Each structure stands twice: as structure tokens, then as C-alpha cells.
Structure 1
Amino acid sequence: MNGRLRNLYSGRSSNGIDWARYEETLGSSLPADYKEFCSVFPPGSFQEWLTVAHPSDGDGSADLDHTAMLVGMIRRAASRNDVPSIPLIAGPGGLIIWGYIEDSVYLCWLATSDDPQTWRTLITDRHASNWVIVEKSMTDVLYDILFGTEPLGPLESHSYLRESPIEFEPFDYAVAPVSADGEEMPVRYDGGPLRAPIDQAHAILATTGSTVAPVIDDALWDRLVGTYGVRIPADYRDLVSRLSPLSIRNIQLFVPSHSDPRHDWTTQLEKAVRDAADRRRSGRHSWALWPAAGGLFPWGIATTGELFCWLPYNSEPSVWPVAMVGYDGETVRLHNLSATAFLFEVLNGADPFEVLRAWN
């Protein structure tokens, strides 16, 4: 690893990394320079926005999930973009994400060789409309991003990454003992009324041309309510009972007892609970989930990993605002919109990050 890169951090190094567990999850051994990097740098970010995947953050399953999401986005973009001619699979033989920039640019190994020391790096935006393949190791690519004179592919609009001083900031949780449980934090709301109109289900159905007859049996909704003890807002229930497919742009919506795990409420809620518990076990915080006080109740997930929830602060579901949990679980954005009002704005071209205001 280049000495100039190494010198960006002189704090406590990452000890006790379970490489066998991490590599077993990913299905492959990993490049030596990446292992050296992780032994020197704890989880953290360069210039606030560039984050390298780190085995101290988990067993690698989240990295594979994010890779699979990216692969799916590239596949969907293939009809309109000149996507790279690479195997579009997540894991060995295809792509493995090793870094992120602003949730908009992804750094991936092209894991197409049995020898990880020969892996190249794909740098791409989420739709593969701007990408480049770099014939260098992971740490050499990272060095070029931070200290190089020419931007690489989609990084032309990210010139701040090369602005002096180049800094690395470890995440707060990185210095906590692995055995220390992180905090489960409630989300608070001021109780302000939702912005009208609240029920945009029929507007969405009319725009998408979806079916008029409900396709989800009432018994399935009753079973969901009985399982979780929470009533689902009527406008959302009306929408997803008739909507086909169960997606608004890149947001996949949850329904009871669906054969596709991406849309099955129980599967997705259990995954959210597991992910939150994993964060707390590693010393980080997680946002409380239902039925905890101030807990969020998920209803959808973006292909980029953001989780969309209600904040059930009141016994009346029709007044619950939308909350978006960042893909890393560290940020919540909250706004006074119902789920269908939020989805209608997204359907009409609004950016979810612009629709929602930062909460914490």
C-alpha cells in the first residue's frame, strides 16, 4: 500500500478481523492489498463521502446484498445504456463491491479470476451510464481517486475527493469494543399534520394503469395485523392491493405473504430487525423498530438499500409520517407525508432524498 495513503491514518488499527468468516460469506479469498488496508484503517470515510467496505462491519452478507442491488440496476439499464461487457452476477465470477461514494458511485472488484491479486476495479454510477474499468489494485485505485490528477470515469463531478487536505475519519462506532452493545434509538416526531393530499392511492393507480380489482385477499391483511398488532394505513393497503408490479421507480413495496422475498412483509421486517441487531452488537446505534417505543414500521425498500417506514407515533395510522433509513442504518430522514403521497411524488420524478428532509 502506498505510504502516502497509509499515512492518512495513525490511530488504532483493526485487530482480530475474522477473514475466514468474511471470505466464506463472499465466496472467495480477497486481494492482499485490501487485507493490508483493513488492518491499518478501521471502518470510516475519506473526505466524508468515500467509504470502503470493511469486515469489521459484518460478515460480508450486506456487501453481497448491495452488490446484487447494483447488478440488478445495471441489468435494468442495459436496454438504454452502454453497460460494461462483464458478467452481471454478484460474487465470484462477477462483481464484489469494495467501496461507495455518496450512495451514487460504486467501486467493485471484477472477481473474474481465481487469483484475487489480478482483479480489476469497475467504477460505475448506479445505472452504468458512466463507468470505467481500471487495471489496478484496490489500494492503487483508492490512491488515484484521492491523489490523482485526473478523475476516473464517473468521478469527474466529485472533485472534492481530491481537495486538500485529504482526510480519513473513522466512524464513531469503530473504536467501541466489539462486545459492547450499541444504542437502540427512537425516532421522535413533533406531531404536525401530514401535508395534503394524504390519500394518493388512486392517483398512483391511474398513472400506472394498474388493476382496479384488489389482488390481495382481506384474510392476508388480517393475518398481518394479527401477527404484528399494527393496522396498516388504508391508503397504502388500497394501493398495494391493486398495484402491479409492486414497485414505484426503484422502491419495492411490501405486502403480506408474497412469493417474492423482496416484497414479502415478514421476510423484509425480519431482515430489518436482524440488520439492526447486528449494528448494535458491533457497537453502533440502530433506529428502533416496531413495537419499540418510537419504533419504525417498514413498508418498502429501495434497490439501493434505503428502508422506507412509517413512524407510528399515534394510534391512528392515517397520520403516520414517512421515514427513510439510509442503507447504512445510520441516518433517518423524516417528513410529513403519507406513504402514498410520498410515492406519488417519486412516481412523478421527485428524488426521494429531496422529498424527505434530514432528521438526524
Structure 2
Amino acid sequence: MTDALIETQTPERRITDPAEALAALERALPNLVGFRRSMPAALDWALVEESLGTTLPSDYKHLAEWYPTFAVGDYLLVSLPEPGEEHLVHRDFRSMLDVLADAWLEPALGLSAYPAPGGLLPWSESNESDKFMWSTTGDSPREWVVTVAGRGGAWWHYEGGAVQFLAELCDNSLEPWGLRVFEPEVTPC
């Protein structure tokens, strides 16, 4: 079996410009703007990406440059690299990958963890253990889609980037298959 058995949600239009995706997230979460840095953080992406063995999607990097880690609705944790702590990012991703590989992957769905070709690379999670990952398929991270693993067993794809996914999840533009409904209120972490 393959992940072709997993249902997919497709946005009306995939947002590929990182600034446009961030603007959509800020519209969906108006109080997020209160936590925006006055200038983008200078993150050592070369160190982060070298330690992970892959380039990360530009929308995620743009979000991390403008915002610190935050929670949405006391439900969703958006953990982002902090300046000066880039050397810790690999440990955080590795920890999420270990949990994913040990307890979450559904062999019947044909899914594997990164760094396997096309493997899943977690980028966020909920306080109810829902997992939000990139499917690392395609010629570049710009083509990666979001894969969701709900704690209740729901697996699905979203054919857009992580920041657009967050925007559409928070503004109710997509169906939260297997995820709980939450208030789109942002708190810093």
C-alpha cells in the first residue's frame, strides 16, 4: 500500500511567495502581529540545514525570521529556531523524528521518516500529540506538502506550504480532518 490512500486537501491557489504566505497567516491570526520582530532575525540557516541534511522551505524560514516560537489557541505549538540557538535545531527535529518513527508511522500507508527519500519531517505538533510534517518529495522544498497525523488516526495531506496551511487552518478555509477546533488566539512561548 502507499500513501495514495491518504486523502488530500488542495488550496484554491498554492502560495509560493513567503511574504504572501506570512501576510495570509497574519490576516488569519490578527494578534500574531503584536509578536512580530521589528527586524527579521539573522538566523544561520546554513548551520541548521547542514545539520538536517536538507534545505528547508522558504515560507518556514521567513516565518522564523519574523516571529519567535508561538502557540495558537492553547493547541498548536509553532516551534521556530531562535538566533544563537541554531545548533539546537537538529536536536529538536531529531527528537520529533524519533517519536514519529517509534509511535506514529503507519507501515500500511507506506510512510517513512526523513531522511528516507520522500520521508516525513515534523515541523510542528499540538498539545494533543497531533503531528504536522513536511512530505519531503519533489525536486525542492518549495514542492513539499504538509502531512497531518491526527492523534485519533487521521492521516491527510495538504498541498501547500506550512505557513499557508497554518493560515487556512486558523481561518477555517480547510477542513480540520481529525483535529479539534480551537480559538485562533496567539500566545508567545
TM-score w.r.t. the length of structure 1 is 0.40
* TM-superposed deviation, 1:151: 2.8
Secondary structure of the residue that 1:107 maps to in structure 2? strand
Q: Which residue of structure 2 aligns with residue 32 of structure 1?
A: 58
2:137 is the counterpart of 1:117: no
Q: 2:165 aligns with which of 118, 141, 144?
A: 141
- Residues 68-96 of structure 1: CA deviation (Å, up to 9, x unaligned): 22122134x54xxxx5333x123362111
| Matched letter for residue 108 of structure 1 | M
Q: Which residue of structure 2 aligns with residue 45 of structure 1?
A: 71
Matches of 1:74 and 1:43 in 2, distance apart? Answer: 24
Q: Which residue of structure 1 aligns with residue 8 of structure 2?
A: none
Matches of 2:145 and 2:174 in 1, distance apart? Answer: 18
Two-structure CA RMSD over aligned residues (Å): 2.2
Q: Which residue of structure 1 aligns with residue 23 of structure 2?
A: 3
Secondary structure of the residue that 2:35 maps to in structure 1? coil
Is this contact kept in 1: 2:114–2:136, CA < 8 A?
no
Q: Which residue of structure 2 aligns with residue 21 of structure 1?
A: 47
* TM-superposed deviation, 1:52: 1.7
- Residues 237-266 of structure 1: CA deviation (Å, up to 9, x unaligned): xxxxxxxxxxxxxxxxxxxxxxxxxxxxxx
Gap change, CA 1:91 and 1:61, over 3 Å in 2? farther
2:114 is the counterpart of 1:90: yes
Aligned residues: 158
Q: 2:90 aligns with which of 52, 60, 66?
A: 60
Q: Which has the larger radius of gyration?
A: 1
| Matched letter for residue 5 of structure 1 | L
Question: Where does the alignment leave 5 or more consecutive residues of structure 2 unmatched?
Answer: 1-20
* TM-superposed deviation, 1:126: 4.8
Is this contact kept in 1: 2:79–2:124, CA < 8 A?
yes
Is this contact kept in 1: 2:133–2:146, CA < 8 A?
yes
Matches of 1:170 and 1:65 in 2, distance apart? Answer: 22
Is this contact kept in 1: 2:42–2:65, CA < 8 A?
no
- Residues 84-136 of structure 1: CA deviation (Å, up to 9, x unaligned): 333x1233621111111114100000012340000011100357x21111111
Q: Which residue of structure 2 aligns with residue 240 of structure 1?
A: none
- Residues 260-290 of structure 1: CA deviation (Å, up to 9, x unaligned): xxxxxxxxxxxxxxxxxxxxxxxxxxxxxxx
Is this contact kept in 1: 2:24–2:164, CA < 8 A?
no
Gap change, CA 1:23 and 1:92, over 3 Å in 2? farther
Higher relative contact order (CA 8 A, sep 6+): 2
Matches of 2:169 and 2:49 in 1, distance apart? Answer: 26
| Matched letter for residue 33 of structure 2 | Y
